[in-house]
Amino acid sequence: MDRREFINKTGWTFVGLAATGSLLQGCPPKSKEAKKTLPSSHNLKLYWGDIHNHCNLTYGHGDMRDAFEAAREQLDFVSVTPHAMWEDIPGRNDLRLQWVVDYHTKAFDALRAGKWDEYVKMTSGYNKENEFLTFLSYECHDMAHGDHVALLYDVNGTMAEPSNAMELKARLKGQKAFVTPHHMGYQTGFRGYNWKSFQEDGQTPFVEMYSRHGLAESDDGDYNYLHDMGPRQWEGTVLYGLEQGHKFGIIGSTDQHAGYPGSYGDGRVMALAPSLKRDDIWNALQNRNVGCATGDKIKIDFRINDAIMGEVIRGNSRRIYLNVEGENSVDYVDIIKNGKCIARMNGPLIPTVPKEDPVRCKIKVEFGWNREEEYVHWNGRLSIDKGIINRITPCFRGAAYTSPQPGEKAFKTRVNRVLSSSEKETILDVYSTKNPNTMTPTVQGVILDVTMPKAGNLTSDFNGKKITHSIGELLQGSKSHFMIGWLSEAILFGRAIPENAFQVEHYMEDTVAEREIDYYYVRVRQKNQQWAWSSPIWVEKR
């Protein structure tokens, strides 16, 4: 399929330097032509985790055991993080801020009075090699240098006792531990990141760019900082750091405070590794072979010559290969070079219904929108009558807490679960509550990746109500249903998204070395406002 035919059949458009590239749809990956031009494949897999989140172990909501149970439902690796220290906490001589001091120091004291031992024991108990990996971590607040999380390799590790983030790095020097800044875009001197503190020494191979606090790619764009810690500013952002010449990977984690690691939409880290072994995941983190996602598990295969994301190579001819598989309709895919967008691939405004039958598509089914405060318990099944379910991806959320305040009523975490799955059905047990406002969703969902004839039916059978739609109907658009009438809880059958709207493969060559070391990275935006980013690849001028 040539470029013009591809655009006509899918609705994708290409702008910028991409106009001089070659679409791989016109260059089949197994062809002789492809073998001459494509970077080599590294045969790595994508694994998903959350290595910075909180529960009631210190200040937060939700039981620690429920947090691990929730993580197992939709993550491959996790660390549940206790808050541990804050030496330069403001307010010791300010009655207005005395509650801040008491609130934090009480939790720090409890951690040292026995909760750390409880935490180590449970973390070790949930660790299962090749199945579900757990890591220890702890957080150090720091007004001057920015907040950092220490992540430990040893599942039976101990906690250092530094006075600030820089001393934390010094204490962990030589140990298998990472020290990672997060919510970077806050004002420097007020727990925002200070790039003067960055050292490319192996202790900080990546930074946390996205969490519930917002997005610190730059000082504008989606996901503004709205916490009472203040707005975001340019000097703490990832692009600012890259423009200073620093090399680091990019990750997301939730920084969630309600005992729900991996809470959908709040931030996740992707790791490129050969297996789910502890050493392989650790090495992926160490080597910056990582990426960032807000929620959807968007797959990014990004290579320049023979390098994958996080690596440094040398050469003036840069063969760029990109394959993206989204979980929803892709809005656009950008290739960024030195802070500029050099190529944009725009997805279709409305997905084009493919002529072939059967068709592979992705359908998100969501549960929620109830008006009352009480949780609605959804117990039932989604099933198909023809074709197969290739994969089921949960999109489960925890309660919408970033920083619980004194006096808030604690609550028990409702763990959402996929009870079983097969090629024909999945049985779910999930809980939804009302959306607290029109900007904060609390709905639960799953994505069904199916291959089905258009006449095949998808049926939901929950809480005594059965609803059926054909794939042909859903390819035309979404369908919603109240369960017991207007203003009650509802179920949404999302539009069936065909491959031509959630997947794109692209090849191009860049022969212009702008700097002694150029950096490139990829970012993907879906129509449902879910994002993903690769870590950069750096190319030195020959």
> Is pLDDT at 493 greater than 70 in this prediction?
yes
Band the pLDDT of 280: cuts 50, 70, 90.
Answer: very high
CA distance 249 to 240: 14
Share of the chain above pLDDT 70, in %: 93
Question: Distance between CA 221 and CA 346 in Å, rounded?
Answer: 18
More confident residue, 402 or 496: 496
pLDDT grade for 29, boundaries at 50, 70 and 90 = very low
Q: What is residue 21's predicted lDDT score, i.e. its pLDDT? A: 43
Q: What is the C-alpha radius of gyration for the chain, rounded to an integer number of angstroms?
A: 23
Mean pLDDT to the nearest integer, 367-371: 92
pLDDT value at 20 more than 50: no
The average pLDDT across 91-104 equals 83
| Average pLDDT value for residue range 247-259 | 97
Q: What is the separation of C-alpha 521 from the centre of its chain, rounded to a whole number of angstroms?
A: 16
Q: Is 90 exceeded by the pLDDT of residue 2?
A: no
pLDDT value of residue 96: 83
214 conformational bin, left if phi > 0, alpha if psi -120 to 50, beta if neither: left
Q: Cα–Cα distances in Å, from 233 out to 186, 215, 238, 521, 524? A: 6, 11, 11, 21, 23
- Report which DSSP code applies to 131: T
Residue-wise pLDDT tens digits, 310-365: 999 999 999 999 999 999 999 999 999 999 999 999 999 999 999 999 999 999 99
Q: What is the mean pLDDT of the chain?
A: 93
Say what the pLDDT of residue 42 is: 82
Instruction: Please determine, for residue 480, whether its predicted confidence score (pLDDT) is greater than 90.
Output: yes
For position 35, what pLDDT does the model report? 53
pLDDT over 90 percentage in the chain: 84
pLDDT at residue 33, as a whole number: 57
Lowest mean pLDDT among 17-21, 185-189, 453-457, 502-506: 17-21
Tell me what pLDDT residue 431 has: 97
Residue, of 102 and 116, whose pLDDT is higher: 116
pLDDT tops 90 at residue 23:
no
DSSP sequence for 198-255: ---SSS-SEEEEEETTEE-SSSSSSS---STT----GGGSHHHHHHTT---EEEE---
Confidence of residue 100 (pLDDT cuts 50, 70, 90): confident
Residue appearing with tokens 């394959």: 323
Phi, psi of 407 (to 5 degrees): 90, -10
pLDDT digits 0-9 by tens, 416-463: 999 999 999 999 999 999 998 888 999 999 999 999 999 999 999 999
* pLDDT value at 12 more than 90: no
Rounded average pLDDT over 62-84: 97
Q: Which of 478, 476, 428, 421 is nearest to 450 (CA)?
A: 421
Q: Which two tokens stand for residue 427?
A: 């049985």
How do residues 113-144 score in pLDDT, each as one tens digit?
999 999 999 999 999 999 999 999 999 999 99
**pLDDT of 483 strictly over 70:** yes
Tell me, letter by letter, the H, E, C secondary structure of 29-92. CCCHHHHHHCCCCCCCEEEEEECCCCCCCCCCCCCHHHHHHHHHHHCCEECCCCEEECCCCCCC
Q: Which one-letter DSSP state was computed for residue 19?
A: G
Residue 34: per-residue pLDDT: 53
pLDDT given at position 98? 84
What digits encode the pLDDT tens for the residues 35-64?
Answer: 556 787 788 999 999 999 999 999 889 999
